[in-house]
Amino acid sequence: MTTTLQLATPRLLLRPFEDRDRAPFGAMNANPVVMRYFPNLMTRKESDEAIDRYNLQLARDGFTMFALEDRTTAELVGILGAQTMRFEVPNLPQPAVEIGWRLAAHAHGRGLATEGARVLLTHLRNETTVRDVVAITTPDNLASQNVMRKLGMLPRPELTFDHPLIAADHPRRQHVLYSLELNLCA
């Protein structure tokens, strides 16, 4: 598999992470506004390790969590992509492929997650063997759930779960799950 894969929309470029992305990605992951639906902020080391993992996933799987770049400014505005889940959700067939996004605070509310996810879903459907995807978030993250619905994803209340990588007493432990069959999306 090539690691030079890029996906483009009118406003966005989804591409592998580069060294120039490390500082802005680290700053984004340390921003309480950006990370408000996550259990904690990420350190720069954790952000760098995530970038390394994402680029390895692309080489292995043909998809990953991509750097999300504004095509006009070449600025990193977030992360958007897909990955094989690193944990099991009870009653969900394995291995499950999760799509997800995280945008810099100034990029919120502009429709970028929906725009980027649409081109990603087309890539997954046409260029990989992935046939179903899921997305997860906390019950109070209504903005992400709105993106999921815009993508045609269906809520799966029977698959609501306690995230196994989050402490049992953490208020962000419970997650909702949405799913989509790729052969049904346009």
Q: What is the pLDDT of residue 184?
A: 62
Instruction: Count Cα atoms within 13 angstroms, Cβ side, for 154.
Output: 9
Cis peptide before 95 (omega within 30 of 0): yes
Q: What is the pLDDT of residue 62?
A: 87
Q: What does pTM read for this prediction?
A: 0.92
Count of structural domains, the chain: 1
Q: What is the pLDDT of residue 2?
A: 41
Task: Round to whole Å and give the CA distance between 12 and 21.
Answer: 15
Confirm whether 81 is domain-assigned. yes
Determine the structural domain holding residue 101 and report its residue range: 7-184
Confirm whether 67 is domain-assigned. yes
What is the residue type of 144?
S
Confirm whether 1 is domain-assigned. no
Confirm whether 28 is domain-assigned. yes
Q: What is the pLDDT of residue 40?
A: 95
CATH number at residue 140: 3.40.630.30
Confirm whether 2 is domain-assigned. no
Residue ranges of the chain with per-residue pLDDT less than 50: 1-2
Confirm whether 24 is domain-assigned. yes
Q: By the 8 A CB rule, do 90 and 25 touch?
A: no
Q: What is the pLDDT of residue 94?
A: 87
Confirm whether 158 is domain-assigned. yes
Task: Round to whole Å and give the CA distance between 22 and 55.
Answer: 13
